[in-house]
Structure 1
Amino acid sequence: MTDDSYRPFDRRTFLKTTTAAAASTLAVGSASATPGKGSDVRTVKADYERGISTSDIERVRRAARQEYNARGGDLDDVPARSTPEAEDGTIVSYAYKIDANGIPHQYTGIAGDADSVAKLHGKADKRADTLGGDATTSSDDVSTQAASWNTILHDEADFCSDPYGCVTNNFDLLQLQDDGDYAQDAYSMHQFFVMEPGVQKYNSNWANEYGYPMHDWRQNNMGGEDLDTYDPLGTLDGSQTVNVSVGTGGVSLGWQYTQPAVTTIDNSSPSSNYAKWSEEFNTTDAQENTNGMQPGSTTWIDEQSSGSGYYDLMDLISEGQFYDTGWGTGRHTLKHTFHVDVYY
């Protein structure tokens, strides 16, 4: 069981140094934005053979940004973006909106076979209805200190393949604003990782076996990355409430979720700047029903010059392994990666 008194060690608070001289050349990473009315939701769909390309996605984003500015906003570009990459899959649905605060929201549907396309098109329509509401994103856990965590990207994705199942990868990317550090910025990832087995999704014999969410902060071109906090830590065995705490610099950030009867193992490497977990679905109930986890991590990384454009920040990975519960011994993996960039 978790210990509510436990708090991860904040290495940044212990080691932090401030380089004030850098203030004249570096600025906190943020796209320049005057609040507008938000763009309409744009949705694009494709069949399995054609798929949706990166250039298709860029056209949708560009049109949304132009509309946002035409409605009273002043957005150089959105503060963050993610580019989906599916191994052995095809992007068949995509929905995108910029909210009134200039924050992007997107949904990506990835199919591993032609039979899954219609359901992913339907999911994109449902997400478009949700994104079309008046809700806006400004912050996650609001702090009483001068600094605060602000959400700068909301992303959702499903990778489905008949008869195996689906792997869902939803996340919020947050940035620590007004942190008082002129040399580095802090970013945090809140991931919602879920596996839905084929026995539930497709009425097949395929069940959950292992899940592998990963926050790979090594995949950046900014430099100075320092994985400061991540959670959960260690091995968690059995059903329990998991309290996640990934704040840094004295500013709290956290959430909780219910872990089912599974075993979660911490495979992270702070010295190598990645956080990774394996989730073993070792009960029939967990194997045959939708289950997952909500891990988080926070990293400090070198600031870049204001107005210099997009920079690679990290890769967010969702990988799920399913197994055949019938007479066979088959295994099948669904994996998708999001390349996350931030704008300066």
Structure 2
Amino acid sequence: MKQNRMTIASLLIAMLILGMVFVPAASAQDNDNGSNEKIVQTYQNTKFAQIVHDFSDPITIKELNETREAIINSYREEKGNTSRPILYSIPQLSKGESIVAYCFRINDDGTTSQYVGRVSDEESVIKIEERVKEWYNNEVLNPAEGNAIKTLESISNNMNSSSSRSGAEWSDPCRFYDDKYQSPYGGVTNNYEMYVLYNDGSSTVDWFAIVQEFGLEPGYTAYTPSVWKNYIGYAYQEWCDGTLGNEQLYSYRPNGPYTGQTSQGVTITGGSGGASAGITWTYSQPDVSTVCYCSTNTDIAKWKVTCNSGAAQTSTVGINPGSTCSATQHSSGNYKILDVKGVGVFRESILSSKTLTTTSSPYISY
């Protein structure tokens, strides 16, 4: 009898243990499903997502893609078939680099905005968290103001477009923000605005425009008391790496070279068969030397920035280059438009330098 009681007690304990093991597992699964359903958030007429991870648990490209697709699918289900394509971007990761923040939003009119924050060390995560707050305030809460994130003094406040009598016009901008930071060297800013030309005068060709906000922030200011300073930067707009087909670089500015602090108005244009439209902005640069290496033979727009003075080497500096390109028109599918790259070379001394690179690839979904 005593033995039977012990057997029953043992069975009860075993059942209790099994219950303790399986119940939390089911609860965790339920929580995961709930979090997936809450990926897409809504503020007024804007659908968006905002993800921030720890350095020890970075965001994967798979998670990034699934988040973006959830937002786009939600938008298309609500709006039905839309005649205008949707633009997005996929970051290219280099060795030792982790994504700790990803934000994406789509407005009621189909224009998009995206932020990607990359780091190579835990100390830099706080820099990215600051950018995420800035993105949310400017791109979700106050998108009607039409202001991009202004991390550089060189960004223009008077972007505008002009069109010919044909009715060609550039779309409202889709904004993409990409930061790469690594302590104690500094950070590279690779922001840009993408445009698509409507009423472009062709049934076989599409036209695209980009205005890039490229910048360098030295470790001297980002990671005080770091002694690393800005040295050289490169801004790339590599249309040849697109998958649309028949990419042809057409217009690019500034064409320089320019040395020292300067400000001037520049325009890039695009269009076919008499249809033409331009985008104009004020190009400003601090005390740096800017040389243009754009080539219609390679379909690569490239600029080199050299920091001349101590002030340029120890503060955030940048330029705003832009270009246009034509490519084969499509009616469906997803295609890469180009690669947008920012490269920063930082120096501790003449014998010691560090290169940071960030590449973002904008796509079009027809």
Q: Structure 2 length as normaliser, TM-score?
A: 0.77
Task: State the Cα deviation string for residues 88-108 of structure 1 (Å, max 9, x = none).
Answer: 421101111111111111111
SS at match of 2:200: coil
C-alpha distance in 2 between matches for 1:198 and 1:103: 34
Letter in 1 for 2:221: Q
Matched, 1:60 2:67: yes
Letter in 2 for 1:124: V
Task: State the Cα deviation string for residues 185-230 of structure 1 (Å, max 9, x = none).
Answer: 1101110001111111111101100010000010122222111111
C-alpha distance in 2 between matches for 1:40 and 1:272: 38
Alpha carbons of structure 1 residues 130 and 234: separation in structure 2 relative to 1, 3 Å: closer
Higher relative contact order (CA 8 A, sep 6+): 1
C-alpha distance in 1 between matches for 2:243 and 2:73: 28
Return the match for 1:185 from 201, 206, 213. Answer: 206
- The offset of 1:114, in angstroms, is 1.1
RMSD of the TM alignment (CA)? 2.1
Matched, 1:311 2:335: yes
Per the alignment, residue 272 of structure 1 pairs with 298
Answer whether contact 1:197 1:289 (CA < 8 A) is retained: yes
Worse-superposed segment, 236-245 or 176-185: 236-245
C-alpha distance in 2 between matches for 1:319 and 1:194: 9
Per the alignment, residue 91 of structure 1 pairs with 99
Return the match for 1:159 from 159, 180, 192. Answer: 180
C-alpha distance in 1 between matches for 2:215 and 2:81: 33
Return the match for 2:311 from 277, 285, 294. Answer: 285
Q: 1:44-123 alignment to 2 at 5 Å? A: 44-69=51-76, 72-74=78-80, 79-87=86-94, 88-123=96-131
Letter in 1 for 2:347: Y
Per the alignment, residue 176 of structure 1 pairs with 197
Task: State the Cα deviation string for residues 114-147 of structure 1 (Å, max 9, x = none).
Answer: 111133123213322322225257x952536411
Letter in 2 for 1:298: T
SS at match of 1:123: helix
Per the alignment, residue 214 of structure 1 pairs with 236
Q: 1:128-143 alignment to 2 at 5 Å? A: 128-136=136-144, 141-143=161-163
SS at match of 1:270: coil
C-alpha distance in 1 between matches for 2:297 and 2:252: 12
Alpha carbons of structure 1 residues 313 and 112: separation in structure 2 relative to 1, 3 Å: same
Task: State the Cα deviation string for residues 43-70 of structure 1 (Å, max 9, x = none).
Answer: 1112223311111112221232344356
Answer whether contact 2:209 2:325 (CA < 8 A) is retained: yes
Task: State the Cα deviation string for residues 261-303 of structure 1 (Å, max 9, x = none).
Answer: 1111112221111110110001111111110100000011111
Letter in 2 for 1:185: D
Larger helix percent: 2
C-alpha distance in 1 between matches for 2:284 and 2:71: 36
Alpha carbons of structure 1 residues 229 and 96: separation in structure 2 relative to 1, 3 Å: same
Return the match for 1:248 from 270, 280, 289. Answer: 270
Letter in 1 for 2:48: V
C-alpha distance in 1 between matches for 2:190 and 2:217: 12
Letter in 2 for 1:182: S
Letter in 2 for 1:235: P
Q: Structure 1 length as normaliser, TM-score?
A: 0.82
Letter in 1 for 2:306: E
Answer whether contact 1:222 1:302 (CA < 8 A) is retained: yes
Per the alignment, residue 8 of structure 1 pairs with none
C-alpha distance in 1 between matches for 2:358 and 2:81: 29
Letter in 1 for 2:184: P
C-alpha distance in 2 between matches for 1:38 and 1:61: 17
C-alpha distance in 1 between matches for 2:52 and 2:245: 37
> Which of 1 and 2 has greater Rg?
2
Per the alignment, residue 324 of structure 2 pairs with 298
- The offset of 1:320, in angstroms, is 0.6
C-alpha distance in 2 between matches for 1:128 and 1:335: 25
Answer whether contact 1:38 1:101 (CA < 8 A) is retained: no
C-alpha distance in 2 between matches for 1:100 and 1:162: 39
C-alpha distance in 2 between matches for 1:170 and 1:102: 20
Matched, 1:148 2:169: yes
Worse-superposed segment, 161-170 or 111-120: 111-120
C-alpha distance in 2 between matches for 1:251 and 1:132: 29
Answer whether contact 1:261 1:286 (CA < 8 A) is retained: yes
SS at match of 1:272: coil
5+ residue gaps, structure 2, are: 1-42, 147-158
Worse-superposed segment, 270-279 or 36-45: 36-45
Letter in 2 for 1:331: S
Task: State the Cα deviation string for residues 5-33 of structure 1 (Å, max 9, x = none).
Answer: xxxxxxxxxxxxxxxxxxxxxxxxxxxxx
C-alpha distance in 2 between matches for 1:78 and 1:106: 16
SS at match of 2:93: strand
Worse-superposed segment, 240-249 or 103-112: 240-249
Answer whether contact 1:160 1:166 (CA < 8 A) is retained: yes
Answer whether contact 2:161 2:277 (CA < 8 A) is retained: no
